[in-house]
Structure 1
Amino acid sequence: MREGLEAVDLALTRRQFLRAGLGGVAAGSVWRTIPGAAQAAAGGALVATAPGDLQFDPYFAQTRAWIVQGQVFSALFDYQGKNPFAPSPQLAESWKETDKTLTIKLRKGVKFHNGRDFTSQDVIDNINRAKDKSIGHYLFDYFDPAVEGAEAVDRETVKITYKQAYPLKLDDLTLLYMIPKEAMADVATKPVGSGPFKFVSYAPGDKLELQRFEQYWEKGKPYLDRVTIKIIADDQARIANLLGGSADFVDTVAPSDVVRLKTDKRVQVITPPPGGFWYTNVINTSHKPFDNKLVRQAMNWSVDRAKIAKLAYFSLAPATQSRYLTSAPWYNEAASTMYKFDLARAKALLTQSGLPNGFETSIMLGKLAGSKEMAQIWAQDLAQIGVKLSIIEKEESAFWDTYGKGEWDTVAFGLGDGRLDPASGINNSSPLRINNNRAKIESQPFFEEYKKLVLEGIDTTDMKARKRTYDRIQTIWAEESWTVNLAFWVIPVVISQR
């Protein structure tokens, strides 16, 4: 490990992994939060890797933004407190909450990388940007439906008013990374925030350079002087860089490589417990024959989750139909056990739908580890009931571009935000949310009931009422089958032991 970090035994919670940059949307700073780093010598540099070019605007989470988010930017709240499942203050110092308002006292002494003080007006500016649909970012679907507006009480106090009772005020604000208004126009190429590291340079296809921000508000941090992110598209080349000593940190590791690297004394594999993230196949309901619920259900019956978990994910990802662990308060057993692997049942549903001889379709894959092996297993089983599944592989940027345009039948996805509350999981999931839904469910017969239930779920803080609502939502997910959950997505990282 490079100077400034030491290899330690890490017992991280799922939430801490999220804040360490795994899972995308609410990522944080692995290089300032790894346990044991406080005892390491200050200074030095770290080299990490990324499989594709980086997205700097933290309002966009579908491309690899996590590396920049938690290093360059800070939010009002994060998940780095004693309870990793509850938001903790970051740029906020204290707050008062009612059903429809949130008044926040800001932390003093926070500066942006351009030297300007962080004030209540910056919160207002960022909320206004989050509510601007024309930018095309994902935060619009969080903030515009929920937030009426924001006003400055004084220079260090801001009041946010909500359109209705809303239980996820703090959770949503963990996603709202603060950008100074004067830097918003250029944030895609020259990011400016208030995080522990500031932007130095970026060469697409080569590397990103960051350096320690000397005026960072958290005393004594970051521990490192410099961070370099090398862009290395090839999976094996990233691992070779790690083993060869030219990189310290690698994520997006294939399950087969994880198994191999666990026995390599040169590195340490850090794996969180399951829950909060899922391997999921998303079906485009606007493409025939997937506009027919019976066909979508047939696809669900045709999935051998146990075989996929063993052969594609090397037994690292527990098979599941549910988004929730059985121990979670939101778990719905009936909805979570509705399907099993049954090709005869799948064939019968296809016949009932008018497709006794099957059909041809495709699944689009990006860089998600294990996806190709999963698709190959599924294609072999589908062939037995007359369904020809073609596998289309795309580089990361092309994958997201095609996904956004809706030019796909089925897509292999990693979903989840690590949060406990299902409302957050719906808002943060492009195929589950009710606005700008990427699976195109708005035209489906069930959508009006589904929309009503999703809004009910965020309209009250009564846990019993919300449990009834989310039980019904989970039943709709299962019955309508536009997402086919496969396994809990356990996301390891590998660090050098040097």
Structure 2
Amino acid sequence: MRVFMARVLFVSLFLFISCGNNDNSGSKRVEKTYSAADIVNGGSLIIGTTGEPDGLNPLTAHSKNAKDAISLIYRRLADINEDLSTFSPQLAKSWHFSNDSLSILFELRTDVKWHDGEVFNSDDVVFTYNMHMNELLGWEGYSYKETINRVVAQNDSTVTFYFTEKTPTLLMDAVEGYILPEHILSQIPVEEIESSNFSRNPVGTGPFRFSEWKSQQSLTLTKFADYYEAGKPRLDAIVIQIVPDNINLYRQVLSGDIDFMESVPAGDFNKLLAQWDDGDSIIKPYNFLGRGYEFIGWNLIDPENYSNVMEAAGDDEPNLEELLKPHKLFGSWKVRAALTMALDRKTIADVVTHGLAVPMHGPIPPIMWAYDPNANSIWEYDVEGAKEFLGDAGWKDTDGDGILDKDGMKFSFEMVTNAGNEERKQALTIIQQQLLEVGIEMTPRVIEPALLFGRMLPTRDLDAALLGWSVGLKMELTPLFHSSSIFIPFNFVSYRSQEFDKLEDAAKSETRQTIAQKHWNGIAKLLSWELPYSWLYYKTETTVIHSRFKGVKVDKRGAFINMEEWWIPFEERSDHDMLAEN
């Protein structure tokens, strides 16, 4: 084992050396069909990413890079399938609902070990639930557990989740979150868990175990020999290589030093796609509707007034009616509708994503079961219509300078976005020009993420923001639009509607999907009409993977969903695969 580990670590030293067997040039690609009998173990996967994980503890990590690595180290009770409504067993081998549908009994596997050799059992499940509910940790999936009353272990291999009410997502709520090692984390005071060594030295039950973390360089995971699925994982090691420069990262993909890259720039992806279709590339492109969408959020309340009222309230609950004084520009529905009509969203998407996006007109993304395109109010690109709506709202160009004004105030505002996202910076420039056509002066402003997400969104200190959200797998809009979320950063537009609250509360509690669909359609119609956001487009994910990897599955859940099944034929192995084996 020590010899193998040394060889794996030796491989990481050669990641910047061009591997001849991976060169993306030369003769036409020849593809071979393999069967289950051809599957062999061994080899390694080099994943390229531009950012370092913010930890490997599922309770406290937030970044996508961290979550991707975590998905290889840990396991849930059950994992969601591609249809986003059914589940496949993981640590639980089966489950049964009670007659009243207010509890679920899970039968756990008895052949599962933690990476340190300890045996997994029901105590780990109960402990994990308690950690999920602990307010000191602030686990980001807390909302999944709100209808769970308690979790009880009947014995080492049986555990029951009890619920306070029936909802259509009881199973999803129960299995959300990776199971944690009680024998390790129970020894650490809760307030010290986030800063503990566990975040950089994790122990899970997944197919790959943590091996080494070189800060700002690489993260190495190696095959867990006692993984409960026989013969898996197929690969010996996965190395996550950190390359801060996206351009350099893509170059390393082309040279063969990196096997796997997500979020490939759209222009480069399209070129690679054409090469693949022509048989001129050994790097396989995957594009699919993922979980990210882009939008403009309009602050519906006056930022200065919000700050003054919150400061005056101190530790007391502020008066909502005083707090939610309408924004001077975006408090008007006619103005928000006009701004939406002024945006040529197709042009924005085509230019920024090179056509790798689909239009989005409302709050429910197309990958979700509740999506119904006919439920949205559609605001077509209409410059003259936008001007008419603005005129109806009292905005005229009284001084002939090309910028609308009203009561001595220019229609001028800032739109912010986060630094480090070139697509959004480009989109801001296009939006600026489009708004100018209807007499609106928009000043783009790029903000460092820590300032934008850490202060400006929570304090509502902005006019409008061009951002993107990543969709969860549960049909829920509470954090973004429910009045109960009026003080949290996700609802930074400060949207509040009794009609929305009533519809979503009904949709989330309805166990009959056909009835729930009617409620979600009502929500889509309401929000796409009232326009707290101007939805822009839903992004197509662009991932590339070296074609020597077989058994690869990529869908709307992402590209990390079955890496334990990836394998490499002997005749297609690369130089760094050979180094790992010799």
TM range (shorter): 0.7 to 0.9
> Per-residue CA shift, 1:409-443, capped at 9, x if unaligned?
313204323x4xxxx1325x853465464343795
Equivalent position of 2:147 in the other structure = 146
Q: Does 1:91 align with 2:107?
A: no
Q: Does 1:317 align with 2:357?
A: yes
Instruction: Return the alpha-carbon distance in structure 2 between the equivalents of residues 260 and 394 of structure 1.
Output: 31
Residues 292 and 73 (structure 1), Cα distance of their counterparts in 2 relative to 1, 3 Å cut: farther
> Per-residue CA shift, 1:309-340, capped at 9, x if unaligned?
32111112122314558898634455424211
Q: Map 1:42-441 to 2 at 5 A.
A: 42-55=41-54, 56-59=56-59, 60-80=61-81, 85-98=85-98, 99-143=101-145, 145-181=146-182, 182-183=184-185, 185=193, 186=196, 187-264=198-275, 265-272=281-288, 274=289, 277-286=292-301, 287=303, 288=327, 289-322=329-362, 330-333=370-373, 335-353=375-393, 356-357=404-405, 358-365=411-418, 367=420, 370-393=423-446, 400-401=453-454, 405=458, 408=462, 409-417=464-472, 419=473, 424-426=474-476, 430-432=479-481, 435=485, 437-440=488-491
Amino acid at match of 2:95: W
Instruction: Return the alpha-carbon distance in structure 2 between the equivalents of residues 76 and 314 of structure 1.
Output: 40
Instruction: Return the alpha-carbon distance in structure 1 between the equivalents of residues 165 and 85 of structure 2.
Output: 24
Post-superposition shift, 1:48?
A: 0.5
> Per-residue CA shift, 1:20-78, capped at 9, x if unaligned?
xxxxxxxxxxxxxxx98995531222111112121323344454333212111111111
Conserved? CA contact 1:361–1:387, under 8 Å: no
Post-superposition shift, 1:241?
A: 1.1
Equivalent position of 1:31 in the other structure = none
Gaps of 5+ in 1: 11-34
- Deviates most, 173-182 or 245-254: 173-182
Amino acid at match of 1:309: A
- The DSSP-based 3-state class of the residue aligned with 1:135 is coil
Instruction: Return the alpha-carbon distance in structure 2 between the equivalents of residues 41 and 323 of structure 1.
Output: 45
- The DSSP-based 3-state class of the residue aligned with 1:41 is coil
Conserved? CA contact 2:51–2:65, under 8 Å: yes
Post-superposition shift, 1:386?
A: 3.5
Instruction: Return the alpha-carbon distance in structure 2 between the equivalents of residues 440 and 207 of structure 1.
Output: 36
- Deviates most, 146-155 or 200-209: 200-209
Q: Map 1:446-461 to 2 at 5 A.
A: 446=497, 448-461=498-511
Equivalent position of 1:479 in the other structure = 529
Equivalent position of 1:18 in the other structure = none
Amino acid at match of 1:469: H
- The DSSP-based 3-state class of the residue aligned with 2:528 is helix
Conserved? CA contact 1:130–1:139, under 8 Å: yes
Amino acid at match of 1:225: D
Equivalent position of 2:543 in the other structure = 493
Equivalent position of 1:24 in the other structure = none
Conserved? CA contact 1:243–1:496, under 8 Å: no
Residues 466 and 2 (structure 1), Cα distance of their counterparts in 2 relative to 1, 3 Å cut: farther
> Per-residue CA shift, 1:188-221, capped at 9, x if unaligned?
3322221111112223322111111111111111
Conserved? CA contact 1:43–1:223, under 8 Å: yes
Instruction: Return the alpha-carbon distance in structure 2 between the equivalents of residues 375 and 85 of structure 1.
Output: 36
Conserved? CA contact 2:337–2:389, under 8 Å: yes
Conserved? CA contact 1:200–1:210, under 8 Å: yes
Conserved? CA contact 1:8–1:36, under 8 Å: no
Instruction: Return the alpha-carbon distance in structure 1 between the equivalents of residues 67 and 535 of structure 2.
Output: 24
Gaps of 5+ in 2: 1-18, 22-28, 276-280, 304-326, 396-403, 406-410, 549-582
Residues 90 and 39 (structure 1), Cα distance of their counterparts in 2 relative to 1, 3 Å cut: farther
Instruction: Return the alpha-carbon distance in structure 2 between the equivalents of residues 266 and 125 of structure 1.
Output: 46
Post-superposition shift, 1:176?
A: 0.7
Conserved? CA contact 1:120–1:156, under 8 Å: yes
TM-score w.r.t. structure 2 length?
0.71
Equivalent position of 1:19 in the other structure = none
The share of aligned pairs that are identical, in percent, is 22
Residues 88 and 314 (structure 1), Cα distance of their counterparts in 2 relative to 1, 3 Å cut: same
Instruction: Return the alpha-carbon distance in structure 1 between the equivalents of residues 30 and 123 of structure 2.
Output: 41
Residues 369 and 359 (structure 1), Cα distance of their counterparts in 2 relative to 1, 3 Å cut: closer
> Per-residue CA shift, 1:87-132, capped at 9, x if unaligned?
2111111111243211111122112222222211211111122222
Post-superposition shift, 1:480?
A: 2.5
TM-score w.r.t. structure 1 length?
0.82
Equivalent position of 1:17 in the other structure = none
Greater radius of gyration (CA) = 2
Conserved? CA contact 2:104–2:162, under 8 Å: yes
Conserved? CA contact 1:166–1:460, under 8 Å: yes
Residues 459 and 177 (structure 1), Cα distance of their counterparts in 2 relative to 1, 3 Å cut: same
